[in-house]
Amino acid sequence: MDFYLSSIILIVFLMLAMTIHVVRYSGFNRQQKGWYIATFLSVVFCSLAEYAVHCGYYKPSWAVPLTVLTVLQFSLAPVLAVFFSGALGLHEQASKAILFFIPHALIEIAAAPFSLIFFFAEDGYHRGSFFTIYSAFYFISFLYLLVSMLEVGKRFKHRDRSTIIMVALTLVAGILPVTFLNIHTAYISIGMAACLCYIYYNDLVQEDTQAELIANQKKVTDMQEHMISGLASIIENRDTDTGMHVSRTREYVKLISEGAVKAGVDTDEINKQFIDLVYTLAPMHDVGKIVVSDTILRKPARLTAEEFEQMKLHASAGGEVVRQMLSGIADESYIKIATDIAKYHHERWDGSGYPEGLKGEEIPLCARIMAIADVYDALISERCYKDAIPPEEAAEIIREESGTHFDPQLTEIFLNNIETPDLLAAGNS
């Protein structure tokens, strides 16, 4: 009995702990929590009721209260399967199934005074002539729970059949000793099964929630990329001479970034996520031109000093436009790289650039990469105020401005890779 008492105490505390966890858990709605709380607290009640009957401390004067307690236990025990099914998400089905067990509860109440299902004598608890009524409803509830778990498993595409099998084996292991050996382990096994069901269902829900979050994030990412491409196309259509400028420059920045990784440059900052973001966000670099007038943007001659000052405003404006556009729909790292590309891609390594005159590594890495790609493509492209120059001459200009306009390490990486077939194809398109 000491072992039996210890087991019951452990199950009671386990069920109370699970109840507290469910109450504080934010992953379930109120209805879901209600089914779980009903399940766990019912196991607590039935366990304590059974222990009160079979603990070995019976006195004949306790027969009436123990009869009432046992009637409540026998009425509630088969309904545990219904609570389980409700906790597993079958709310409507469980609500209807409770009606099936109401007649059993009425039978238990009606039969108690006549000792038909159970009774208490001088020596304690005994099964009555019609105990099979309780056994039948208990067995039906067991089958109902298995069917419910299989139905839930089907809903979740049977991702965890092993847990369903373990729950069934746990319940059988608890019921058989009661039936054949008069060892009262039913509620111990039911408590363990309740925990397994909780873990089983919660894991499946969390997996699906995670999958849904990933799918939603993919939708947001696609939306961001379409928005970026659309805005870049608007700018490109205004500045008709730029042609495929945004498409080519994103290929250049990707090659420089990947080359930097191979060369061991800034490996703490340049990783796959960085490369993907720079590639995705490169088209945003000239978004600030939306504030520049068409007269300046399409002028078929070099700009005057005053006009150039107006053109320079596109860098600061671009950073502000990007931040306002992406705020609330992208994380901070995404916004930062987009903003840095738009705002700082005209900064120069020697500090003579704009809008802030940043120098050397004060210039964000993504902007240093963008600067090389932007200038190189501008050199090999025909503009309304100039002819295109051959890629070889453009590469030589980039080389000459290494250390003044451009980051020397990134310049070397770019020049070492510029003659690859992919880059030549991009440059000539």
The domain limits of the chain are: 2-211, 239-428
User: What percent of the chain is predicted at pLDDT more than 90?
Assistant: 33
Give the Cα separation of 80 and 84 in Å (integer).
Answer: 6
Q: Which residue did the predictor score with more confidence, 12 or 208?
A: 12
**What φ, ψ does residue 327 adopt, rounded to 5°?**
-60, 125
Provide the token pair at 276.
Answer: 């993907």
Q: What is the mean pLDDT of residues 342-352?
A: 96
Mean pLDDT is highest, among 169-178, 213-222, 347-356, 420-429, for 347-356
Q: Give the contacts of 406 (CB within 8 A, at least 6 positions apart).
A: 348, 349, 368, 371, 372, 375, 398
pLDDT given for residue 424 in this prediction: 43
- Most confident range (mean pLDDT) of 38-52, 186-200, 212-226, 396-410 is 396-410
pLDDT band at 325 (very low <50, low <70, confident <90, very high): confident
Range with lowest mean pLDDT among 19-28, 40-49, 340-349: 19-28
Any idea how long the chain is? 429
CATH class for domain 239-428?
A: mainly alpha
Q: Tell me the pLDDT band of 194, cut-offs 50, 70 and 90.
A: confident
CA distance 140 to 137: 5
Query: In terms of pLDDT, which residue wins out, 292 or 225?
Result: 292
Residue-wise pLDDT tens digits, 246-283: 788 889 999 999 999 888 876 678 888 899 999 988 98
| Residue type present at position 378 | A
CATH architecture of residue range(s) 2-211? Up-down Bundle (1.20)
* Among the listed residues 318, 410, 336, 327, the one whose alpha carbon sits nearest the alpha carbon of residue 373: 410
State the helix-helix crossing angle for 391-400 and 365-380, rounded to 10 degrees. 140
Q: Is 330's pLDDT higher than 60?
A: yes
pLDDT-wise least confident of 95-99, 146-150, 273-277, 334-338: 146-150
* Residue 272: both structure tokens together: 């796959």
pLDDT at 420: 47
**Segment holding 399, helix H or strand E:** helix 391-400
What would the two tokens of residue 316 be? 């600061």
pLDDT value at residue 429: 45
Asked whether 253 and 369 are in contact (CB, 8 A), the reply is yes
Alpha carbon distance 297, 132 (integer Å): 92
Pick the most confident of 11-15, 70-74, 150-154, 420-424.
70-74
CA–CA separation, 319 vs 337, rounded Å? 10
- Residues 33, 39, 44: CA angle, nearest 5 degrees: 125
Q: Which residues 6+ apart lie within 8 Å of 299 measured at CB?
A: 307, 384, 385
Across the range 157-170, mean pLDDT stands at 67
pLDDT value for 354: 94
Given this model, what pLDDT does residue 11 score? 87
Residue 364 has pLDDT above 90, yes or no: yes
Please tell me which residue, 226 or 367, carries the higher pLDDT value.
367
Confidence grade of residue 428 (pLDDT, cut at 50, 70, 90):
very low
- Are 101 and 78 within 8 A, CB to CB? yes
Residue 208: pLDDT over 70? no
